[in-house]
Chain A
């Protein structure tokens, strides 16, 4: 008998299906579940995406309940992957509209359309309160005061999705995955940030003593984690159904709970940066070490100056804190319950990612 995490996924709707993660999930489904009927739904219509007999593209606006309901009623998928989320830096209103209201709409539509499994893409940031995250696992609570509007809206979205476990006509099962530091080909945030530092010729500065460990996730590994979660839940849906016993430790079951997903290879922050930079011929990065406290002070001054000059500050206290504190997770839950293992290692992922950026650069 096949293992639960190999349960075939017959049909799936990917919300945010043309985004960074949605595209990766589509590709993973094509290769691991060749008979799956895939609907990639996104707010924009796709420009250049693979055409394949098993993929249908649809436009959907999750802030409209009727739009998402129509989509799910017509496609009637077994599994919904909800990966849609606005990019950082858009503002509180849009975050809440998409992550909170949008997720509520998705949940409602899933309940009425008889979806069996909903996998919600959350974020490891939901447990961030501004201080270090050291080997954090799923017991770590949400912070009393959310760090920012984005993480707050993601946490509410996650709670909404998980609360829908064992509801609806088909007793739908739900789970939430919390990835940290996603990167890969098509990444517009993480790796480009490091590349900008090379272009600005600022690689000689290292903030802090580089003892802080950081978790990253290669996009394809995250996509595979989504499939594993869906398969495990489909198996559970067909056999035992939802975990109703409230005394069971939340780290012992998938349904109705969240779990962290990373590459499982935390690494020292500046070592990751140096590994990127050496692809650009910089081998002596970090020769000037600024102590964290000093850097924080300088950043405060820089922010004040930028504020006076009405300019967007490049060097901020947040960036100092971000690059000087621990931020890594214990992903044993995902390893044990999903049988998840990063297929693409950190260095291999980085190599592929840089290769893609090179090719992109040449196109332009």
Chain B
């Protein structure tokens, strides 16, 4: 069934199929790695990158050479932290000190960790973490400071989470807590990346003066993932929806997944989407500050995937039943189309339109969602004013007159045609009918010659 669904999808979306093939076989990456010039450890690091990340590896590998290694190592450091935090088999008294001291570990040559459960998929990264430490030591000081600082703060945030209950089926208490959690796991990444980009000259220094923008970059991605992963997280006995939101709709968090609550669950979902959409215009604003194409792609691709995912999950009951994802072809199409800020804005507008088409007055968040969509559209209009709206409505009396004359012409034509077809007995001169035969039945002139007298006879004198 799933296979048939896939075939049907690409049969009806050929452009996505084309994008997928193009992405795979025809595209020239912006930048290439040159493995011959890399040390054994660095090669190993890139192997880990491809092993641990599904979506990020390709965009990181295409980053311009100055940024590629710092960003890749930054990613591996965070992945290392995450692998320790996620593993429920590590007792807290071992886990918490590692998380808190992870930034010091980065300066400890030869540090490795084999305490992860054998089932942990990224376990090998920590088993051979010394290669990351070796390469980290070779980075410029300015990059090292940033990565260390973010690792320190994120480690603290994670330690705090670990002290809480291991299983949570109540969500986070308030929207404030939800934002705080998202800040620790994603907003900090936005900050770190921006602090790597600015010294390298690939981003406008003004981005550092507007923390709200880079925080929004992270929060938007994280919130979309949290919304979408409802089912997956629930299966893992985790939950992140803030009670301040879901509490308005159901009494117990797990009730959201029950079929009989579908209608209220959809309203809860739209409020979650509404909350995430709030970051949309900030993300576009941030993207406007990037100066290098490869860095732009690196930042913009996850954002367009996020808005596409948001449009997919919005008022979609399937999300509560299983893990839904945008089709691969659509993802390829987005990666190909992301291009520059203008095209990214077009993509945002396209998905805003999809969200709007699914919005319904039955939902108590209807107007709020509409306002938020319009807010993003207004922001886009502010940076790329659309050409004066071409109105279909006649603007002046002249065009109204032309319209009127045209319509009357059509009306008269239509009347004549009807008369001809039904053979109504209209009193008119034979010339008119000949004109009609000339235009309507050019191939029937021979028969028309014979038929004409009959017809004209009928038309002219046949009333009685």
Contact = CB atoms under 8 A, between A and B. Distances in A.
Given A135-B385, A268-B356, A283-B361, A293 B367 contact: no
Given A135-B381, A283-B361, A265 B371 contact: yes
Interface stretch (A43-51, A73-81, A167-175, A322-330): A322-330
Given A267-B371, A271-B370, A275-B367, A293 B386 contact: no
Interface stretch (B34-42, B64-72, B110-118, B388-396): B388-396
B382 A131 contact: no
Interface stretch (B162-170, B316-324, B372-380): B372-380
Given A213-B377, A213-B378, A266-B378, A296 B366 contact: no
Given A275-B366, A347-B368, A296 B389 contact: no
A330 B367 contact: no
B361 A285 contact: yes
Contacts of A132: 388-389, 391
Nearest to B373: A268
Contact of B393 (A134, A268, A324): A324
Interface string A281-298: 011010000011100110
Contacts of A297: 403, 407
A271 B366 contact: yes
Interface in A255-282: 265-268, 271-272, 274-275, 277-278, 282
9 contacts: A132-B388, A134-B385, A213-B377, A271-B367, A283-B362, A292-B393, A293-B392, A297-B407, A346-B367
A296 B393 contact: yes
B400 interface: yes
B408 interface: no
Contact of A291 (B360, B382, B392, B394): B392
B152 to A, nearest CB: 36
Contacts of A134: 381, 385-386, 388-389
Given A132-B389, A275-B367, A320-B393, 14 more contacts: A131-B389, A134-B389, A135-B378, A135-B381, A267-B370, A268-B373, A271-B370, A272-B370, A296-B393, A296-B394, A297-B403, A330-B378, A346-B371, A347-B371
B389 A277 contact: no
B392 A266 contact: no
Contact of B367 (A300, A326, A350): A350
Interface in A101-134: 130-132, 134
Contact of B389 (A268, A283, A326, A346): A326
A316 B385 CA distance: 30
Contact of B366 (A135, A213, A274): A274
A271 B366 CA distance: 8
Interface string B341-382: 000000000000000100111100011101101110110011
A325 B377 contact: no
B374 A213 contact: yes
A24 B356 CA distance: 34
Contacts of B392: 291-293, 296
A321 interface: yes
Main secondary structure of the interface of B (DSSP, over half): helix
B361 A265 contact: no
Which of A130, A132, A266, A326 counts the most B-chain CB atoms under 10 A from its CB?
A266
A325 B378 CA distance: 15
Contacts of A274: 361, 366
B366 A131 contact: no
Nearest to A321: B393
Contacts of A350: 367
A266 B382 CA distance: 13
Which of B382, B386, B389 counts the most A-chain CB atoms under 10 A from its CB?
B389
A272 B370 CA distance: 9
Contacts of A131: 388-389, 391, 395
A278 B362 contact: yes
A275 B361 contact: yes
Contacts of B403: 297
B354 to A, nearest CB: 13
Nearest to A299: B393
A291 B356 CA distance: 18
A300 B399 CA distance: 13
A271 B367 CA distance: 7
Contacts of B388: 131-132, 134
Contacts of B394: 296
Given A134-B389, A320-B393, A330-B382, A267 B366 contact: no
Interface in A319-359: 320-321, 324-326, 328, 330, 345-347, 350
B375 A265 contact: yes
A160 to B, nearest CB: 31
